[in-house]
Structure 1
Amino acid sequence: MLLVFYRARYLLRCLREIYFPTLRQVKGNLDLDLSEKRNKRVLMIVHNDFFNAKGGVESYVLNLYNRIGKSKGGFDFYYLARVNNKNKKYGEIYKDKNKNNVFYINLSDGNIYSLVNQKLDNLFSEFIFKLQPDIVHFQHYIHFSLTWFRVIKKILPKTKIIVTLHEFLGICPNSGQMIKTKWQGFKLCDNSTVENCKNCFPYLPKDVFERRNINVRKYFKYIDLITAPSNFVLERYKSFGLKNKMLYSENGQEIFRTLPKIKSEKLRLLYLGQINKFKGLDVLLESMNKISNKEVKLSVYGKFQNDKNYNNKILKMVDKLQNVNFYGVYNRNQLPEIFSKHDVLVVPSIWWENSPMVIQESFMAKTPVLCSNIGGMKEKIIDGKNGWYFKVGDSNDLSEKINYFFENIGIFNNENFKVKNIKEDIKNLLKIYKDIV
């Protein structure tokens, strides 16, 4: 019965894309300088506006856009973000009334099993033709359509396309996590194949994944440069068979002021960030249940996601543990104070991760990190220098590492906590833009 439900939902989504009327909804006067003497134009595109979905990528892109727009790099910058605005028509592109060069496109969630919706091509082509960008930088492409890469090259053959990868969406239909679905026990996935994807989604026909892979390889050929803040992610895409030019480029961070550590005889652990089954908080709580040392404490800061069963599981575990305190949602302005009261950040994710912002934030605060030994997390850690890692999903190994931290917390040197700041990121990105045009 469950398989029938999922298959019906997929078919309805496909029918909506096939029969939805062709869209032509570019609103507002762009008021652009079309003279030859104008600066080169860069259009940044992101899958969600930060004020509608306050995720790590959204936060990074908005901050990058605001900061790079003030630089004297010889470029004019434009920003296009997806919103889900009930007061606007589906597909409408409109200009922000209070911000220069900021636009929104009103779209619902895209078809993650396809990544292609050619019904969106007309509205995007009209916008691109009016804007005439020299570079289009996709910070994400979920909810849009891979065909937009081809649209750009057909309308503006000289325009360069850059795509920054923040996860594995192009090679994994499970939200780009490269982790298997409940039908496969939520295990890590090492290889993106049609057979593996079919096993994860038994309610979908095999040709869905065959077409998906064909589309990714077909439309990614229009991309001039792929960047990612993780070599691990780039290697995964190379293994998938992509031949694009690829470049590692770490995300720059807005450096916050740090406060001196408040001294304590206890080992104060910190969990920081979203709470969902991929982030592995349950693994950390299991390890805390195995630690008898009363001098070890854990603080949990974060927001629950839309998974009632997992959320209830976490709350029940927290209620039973005397060595865990749950503080809920936090904002970035609180980070200096939060880190000043803690000794170690724990990142127990059971998926690969890309370049977790929370690790960068911990390094800013000169706080070592204990994380899972996979993917983009492990890549950030120099074992014994700025942190340690433990066997992913293994609460026994994690509890052993926590006890080891208790005995050896004083070995870390502040010189090992290096973070790329936003100014360095902008300088690097401007060089990439200048080189590519």
Structure 2
Amino acid sequence: MKINKNKILLVNKFFYLNGGSERVFFLEREFLISHGFDIIDFSMKDSKNLNSNFANFFIDKVDYTNTKGIIRKLKTGFAFIHSSESVNKITKIIKHEKPNIAHLHNIYHQLTPSIIPILKENKIKVILTLHDGKLCCPSYLMLNRGKPCLKCAGTHFHYPITTNCQQTLARGILLSLEAYFHAWKKSYDGVDAFIVPSIFLGNIVAPRIGHSKTHLIRNGIDQTKFIPSTKDDGYLLYVGRLSSEKGIDTLLKAHSCMNNISKLVIVGTGPLEYKLRSHASSSVIFKGYCTGENLWELVKKSSCLIVPSEWYENAPMTILEGMAFAKPIIASRIGGIPEQVVHGETGILFTPGNTHELSQALDAMMTDTDMRRRMGINGRLRLEKEFSIQSHNQQLLNLYQSFL
């Protein structure tokens, strides 16, 4: 599996487990290290960061939420588009370490795409894993007032201004300027290969970057670390951010309409947490932020996992983790989710935002123990066949090899 030239620069703006994209990032990093690759890290400083021998090269923490004063806001706004610090520090690490390949993950806003031309000037092959729709939508969420939106389509970046989809003109202008700046600078033209975890994402970014540069490598799970669970304590489980695009409001409404209301356990935090807690019934249990064994225990004992997203999800790791524990999935029919969940076989898909459909799905799942068990087993088998970390890593190695 080893290749001769094996210095890999791994780049992600967070160097801790901030979300699903970081889980992919660290799984790949762990694999590459275990197979003898020399790994060079480039990221942003944060007290939550994991250890790295290259932390001295990391940029200072960037916080856009607490910027005050007009001059400071202008400087921060420009750094949002082009980070001189990132450019300077990645130049230093390139000269010091001389990597063969740079594999980028989430870089926008803090590290910024301005680092890509620097990598190309130094004749480094660049791979970018796309975890969301940032190349198509300046805000990456692909939402307009809570509704899925693909208007910008990777070229028409004025819509955040003309439609006020960000609901603040200042933010809309900043995001439009960022998108147009990097289109003008052709920052992304320096990427040699774009990894997409779903066919859905590959199709929506193709108008901007073309199909020839996209490589489908599905997110993977190391199934050897997950023992299928036969436990079923009779509760529904949601794991994720408590925000509107995640469909958490729809879930609570659907749950209250069940014929026989089951306990609903909610894991996560977010901007809607206070509102949800204040209006939820006693059958809804909020666990807050959970990780590690505490989270896995909740998944193992659940009856099913619910992913009610109302935005274009790419390839949620939460679904794969539920499948790894042999849990059936109830999820929205949106984005890349139908590529993971097979309706009627490994779970139930419903129309995003449709309270009635979701309520029916909850009732159907909770009144049929045999169906839950069958779907859970089917999901585990599908995971082993289509979403194993072994397959993911082999495809990643093949891509690296093609550039060396």
TM-score, structure 2 normalization: 0.83
Q: Report the counterpart of residue 47 of structure 1 in structure 2.
A: 13
Equivalenced residue count is 372
The 1:65/1:241 distance shift into structure 2, 3 A limit, reads closer
* 2:183 corresponds to 1:220: no
Deviation at 1:356, TM superposition (A): 0.8
- How many Å apart are 1:408 and its aligned residue? 4.2
Q: Counterparts in 2 of 1:34-113, with a 5 A limit? A: 39-50=5-16, 54-72=18-36, 75-84=37-46, 99-100=52-53, 104-109=58-63
Structure 1: how far apart are the matches of 2:94 and 2:194?
A: 20
Given that 1:41 and 1:78 are in contact with CA atoms closer than 8 Å, whether structure 2 keeps it comes out as yes
Q: How does 1:181-200 map to 2 (within 5 A)?
A: 185-192=145-152, 193-198=156-161, 199=163, 200=165
Q: Please, which of 163, 177, 187 is the counterpart of residue 141 of structure 2?
A: 177
8 A Cα contact 2:303 2:366, kept in partner: no
Cα 1:405–1:428 shift into 2, 3 Å: same
Instruction: Compare 114-123 and 346-355 and name the one that shifted more.
Output: 114-123
Q: Distance in 2 between matches of 1:54 and 1:100?
A: 20
Match of 1:297 in 2: 263
Matched, 1:160 2:125: yes
Residues 241-273 of structure 1 deviation map (CA, whole Å, 9 limit, x = unaligned): 556610111122233333642356x5x211112
| Counterpart contact for 2:229–2:326, Cα < 8 Å | no
Q: 1:280 aligns with which of 217, 238, 247?
A: 247
Displacement of 1:137 after TM fit? 0.4
3-state SS in 1 of match to 2:245:
coil
Paired residue type of 1:261: T
Alignment partners' CA distance in 2, 1:216 and 1:115: 12
Structure 1 residue 290, shift from structure 2 partner? 1.1
**Cα pair 2:131 2:197 within 8 Å, conserved:** yes
Q: Which AA in structure 2 matches 1:105?
A: I
| Matched position secondary structure for 2:250 | helix
Structure 1 residue 365 displacement after superposition: 0.7
Residue among 227, 245, 255 paired with 2:213? 245
| Distance (Å, rounded) in 2 between the aligned partners of 1:243 and 1:116 | 27
Answer yes or no: is the 8 Å Cα contact 2:202–2:211 preserved in 1. no
In structure 2, C-alpha distance between the alignment counterparts of 1:365 and 1:298, rounded to whole Å: 18
Instruction: Provide the C-alpha distance between the structure 2 equivalents of 1:38 and 1:116, rounded to a whole number of angstroms.
Output: 34
368 and 123 in structure 1: CA distance in 2 versus 1, 3 angstrom threshold: same
Percent of counterpart pairs with the same letter?
23
Q: Which structure has the greater CA radius of gyration?
A: 1
Structure-to-structure mapping, 1:349-428, within 5 angstroms: 349-411=309-371, 412-413=374-375, 414-417=377-380, 418-419=382-383, 420-428=387-395
Secondary structure of the structure 2 residue equivalent to 1:316: helix
Aligned AA for 1:60? V
TM-superposed CA distance for 1:311, in Å, is: 2.0
Question: Residues 301, 84 of structure 1: CA spacing in aligned structure 2 closer, same or farther, 3 A cutoff?
Answer: closer
Q: Which residue of 1 aligns with 2:200?
A: 232
* Deviation (angstroms), 1:191: 2.3
Query: Contact 1:383/1:389 (CA < 8 Å) preserved in 2?
Result: yes
Task: Summarize deviations over 1:12-53 as a string: whole Å, max 9, x none.
Answer: xxxxxxxxxxxxxxxxxxxxxxxxx97431111011110xx5
The verdict on how the C-alpha distance between 1:425 and 1:117 changes in structure 2, with shifts beyond 3 A counting, is same
Amino acid at match of 1:257: F
Measure the CA separation in 2 of the matches of 1:232 and 1:424. 20
Displacement after TM superposition at 1:206 (Å): 6.3
Distance 1:140-1:363 versus aligned 2 partners, 3 A rule: same
Deviation (angstroms), 1:145: 2.3
Gaps of 5+ in 2: 65-75
Q: Which moved more, 1:275-284 or 1:322-331?
A: 322-331
Which amino acid in the other structure matches residue 327 of structure 2?
T
> What root-mean-square deviation, in Å, do the aligned CA atoms of Structure 1 and Structure 2 show?
2.9
* Alpha-carbon offset, residue 239 of structure 1: 3.1
- Shift of residue 164 of structure 1? 0.2
SS in 1 for 2:148: coil
CA contact (8 A) 1:288 1:323 kept: no
Partner of 2:114: 147
Which residue, 381, 396, 404 being the options, matches 1:429? 396
Q: Secondary structure at the match of 2:246?
A: coil
Moved more, 192-201 or 395-404: 192-201
CA distance in 1, matches of 2:352, 2:299: 24
Distance (Å, rounded) in 2 between the aligned partners of 1:244 and 1:147: 23
**Structure 2 Cα separation of the partners of residues 342 and 59 of structure 1:** 22
Change (3 A) 1:385 1:42: same
**Structure 1 residue identity aligned to 2:27:** N
Q: CA deviation at 1:336?
A: 4.2
Contact 1:259 1:337 in 2 (8 A): no
**Alpha-carbon spacing, 1:251–1:112, altered in 2? closer, same or farther (3 Å):** farther
Match of 1:10 in 2: none
Shift of the alpha carbon at 1:57? 1.8
Aligned partners of 1:370, 1:120: CA distance in 2, in Å? 41
Selected match of 1:262 from 224, 228, 231: 231
Q: Deviations over 1:378-430 (max 9, x none)?
A: 22111111111111112122101212223445233514433233333322212
Query: Could you report, residue by residue, the CA deviation over 1:142-200 in whole angstroms, capped at 9, with x for unpaired residues?
Result: 2112221111111x22x2100000011233232x11112xxxx3221122133422212
Name which of 294, 299, 302 aligns with 1:334.
Answer: 294
Letter in 2 for 1:224: D
Deviation at 1:63, TM superposition (A): 3.2
Query: How far, CA to CA, are the matches of 2:226 and 2:336 in structure 1?
Result: 26
**Pair 206,406 (structure 1): closer, same or farther in 2 beyond 3 Å:** closer
